[in-house]
Amino acid sequence: MSRKYFGTDGIRGHVGQYPITPDFMLKLGWAAGMAFRKQGKCRILVGKDTRISGYMFESALQAGLSAAGADVLLLGPMPTPAVAYLTRTFHAEAGIVISASHNPHHDNGIKFFSGRGTKLPDEVELMIEELLDAPMSVVESAQLGKASRINDAAGRYIEFCKSSVPTSTDFSGLKLVVDCAHGATYKVAPSVFRELGAEVVVIGAQPDGLNINANVGSTHIGQLQKAVVEQGADLGIAFDGDGDRVLMVDHTGAVVDGDELLYIIATDLQDREKLVGGVVGTLMSNLGLELALKARDIPFSRAKVGDRYVIAEMLERGWQLGGENSGHIVCSQHTTTGDAIIAALQVVLALRRRGQSLAQERLAWHKCPQVLLNVRLSGAGGDPLTHPEVRSACEEVDQAMAGRGRVLLRKSGTEPLVRVMVEGDDEAQVRQHAERLAGVVAKVCA
């Protein structure tokens, strides 16, 4: 059964445009409350990032949940993975995050976690969708849900993050620049690294409701690069708006992406004989990562793009490490979902164990040149990925690369875009092929 509202990562869109409207959020809160009720009772956590519309949607969701008889525990601004963790520790039936992740402030969305802190099963999402199309009712007055605020949520999550490294961990002598993207990590991330002994310079930690992800964070890393070099820091850490993805910058200002961070964590686990199975990447993971892991006898598997699919592949194989080059990294020995702070801690700890700089570790393997171009969908016509001209062009590029690279075309799960990716051993050729394919896609989308 196809979904009407849910995408690959919850429900997301432009604020004020259906379904990202207050009336829809009221109905969504009611539908979620009805779906999660057990013996007539239900407790649901609600967290959000720092965008201004979060206040509006928090109130609407709270009203809908209460109408369904669900008690609501409000967390305030809190990273997405923190909501997953706190949902488990409070033994709630579900957790809700109001966030559009790395998108600008004029977008927003809703993500759900099950009581185990995992993505919702398909059948639960479909149940919520069915309820959204049903008439809304209100429980008896005595059965209405109550709302309360968890005042120590940030402290609980800080301690949880610190528990992912040994109690003997000491980052003294390490100077870090931490970019919080004016988002949900702005309070907790600096505290975690400071409490472990590091000297922390913070940027992107003055949220005003409108500046989330604005020229800062993991999708706009230039300010972090500049700050690391100017401050003479050992490295920089860039989070996105909701704290589920992380990129880094070495002391020279070079960007270290999710593939490179995965390699550092994986090889550190292997060296300590703690790596369970192998590593799950995605169709977008760099070919060089696969080859480098193979050289270390570490199995590698590709899932579809999206942390939901990475986690599903990890569970199927019984592996504990996976992620995307965008910086979603899942360390399931510590938590149930992608957690940027915990992933960053594992990388920094690996560097300390080895006595290596991030710059040295970044050069441990060769990344194949990869070009990614976005082509906007017009909404007219059919699926460009199945168009004969597009398929023919892809086949021609495959033949021209003669097994020395990869071509991948896919639709974005969060934006009206077709992503065109070409990867190979010759950068000029890779760019030429990518631009040609993007031109063909743009033509059939016009």
Set out the domains of the chain in order of their start, with CATH numbers.
Answer: 11-151 (3.40.120.10), 160-362 (3.40.120.10), 370-445 (3.30.310.50)
Q: Residue 381's pLDDT is what? A: 61
| pLDDT tops 80 at residue 8 | no
Neighbour tally for 89: CB within 10 Å: 12
| pLDDT tops 60 at residue 377 | yes
Sequence-distant (6+) residues with CB within 8 A of 203 are 177, 178, 179, 180, 216, 223, 224, 227
Q: Residue 77's pLDDT is what? A: 97
pLDDT tens digits for range 48-64:
999 999 999 999 999 99
Split at pLDDT 50, 70, 90, the class of 380 is low
Classify the C-alpha dihedral 382-1-329-301 as positive or negative: negative
Residues in the chain: 446
Q: How far, in Å, CA of 442 to CA of 446, rounded?
A: 6
Burial class (CB in 10 A: 0-12, 13-18, 19+), 149: exposed
Q: How far, in Å, CA of 109 to CA of 7, rounded?
A: 10
Mean pLDDT of the chain: 95
For strands 199-203 and 175-179, give the pairing.
parallel
Q: Residue 401's pLDDT is what? A: 86
| pLDDT tops 90 at residue 216 | yes
Q: Is 101 a catalytic residue?
A: yes
Q: How far, in Å, CA of 443 to CA of 393, rounded?
A: 12
pTM over 0.75: yes
**Which residue has better confidence, 360 or 404?**
360
Split at pLDDT 50, 70, 90, the class of 404 is confident
C-alpha atoms less than 13 angstroms from C-alpha of 233 in its C-beta half-sphere: 26
Split at pLDDT 50, 70, 90, the class of 393 is very high
Q: Residue 379's pLDDT is what? A: 65
Neighbour tally for 91: CB within 10 Å: 8
- Quick one: which of 380, 382, 393 has its CA closest to 439? 393
pLDDT tens digits for range 200-215:
999 999 999 999 999 9
Check 99, 101, 164, 285 and give the catalytic one. Answer: 101
| pLDDT tops 90 at residue 278 | yes
Q: Residue 25's pLDDT is what? A: 98
Q: Residue 3's pLDDT is what? A: 78
pLDDT tens digits for range 150-162:
999 999 999 999 9
